[in-house]
Amino acid sequence: MLVQQDAPQMVRVALRSAFPDLRVVSELPDSWASASAPVVTVISAGTPLSSVPWAREQVLVTAYAGEEPTARQIVAKVDAYLIDPVRPHGMLVTPAAGPDIVRDRDLGCFLGATTVQVATQRR
């Protein structure tokens, strides 16, 4: 039986390795506030294309920061890192949507988001 790999976790591992000073998680901590250090969340946005040996999963990467330039800078660097074909991630990453920067009035912060498509072999 061939099982789809956990693409969001693979992206989290790659980002933690590339950006050790950046907190990369699967969910925004309840204690996070706009005055806190920026946080990046990485979650699945669905699997639009799948075959027996491969799965292509959409992965949403969101940077939460107190200021717009910080959110923009983080998501731009993360996006550039992920879609760089020279980087050996063990997965094929291509751009899907974004980056987009929006203000979240409820959280009182800015979000920088990008979506990438991650192709992995089933195992």
- pLDDT tens digits for range 36-83: 999 999 999 987 766 768 788 999 999 999 999 999 999 999 999 999
pLDDT tens by residue, 26-48: 999 999 999 999 999 999 998 77
Q: How far is the C-alpha of 92 from the C-alpha of 63, rounded, in Å? A: 22
Q: What is the set of domains in the chain, with CATH numbers?
A: 7-121 (3.30.2000.30)
Distance of alpha carbon 54 from the chain centroid:
20
C-alpha distances out from residue 21 to 15, 16, 72, 92, Å: 10, 8, 17, 25
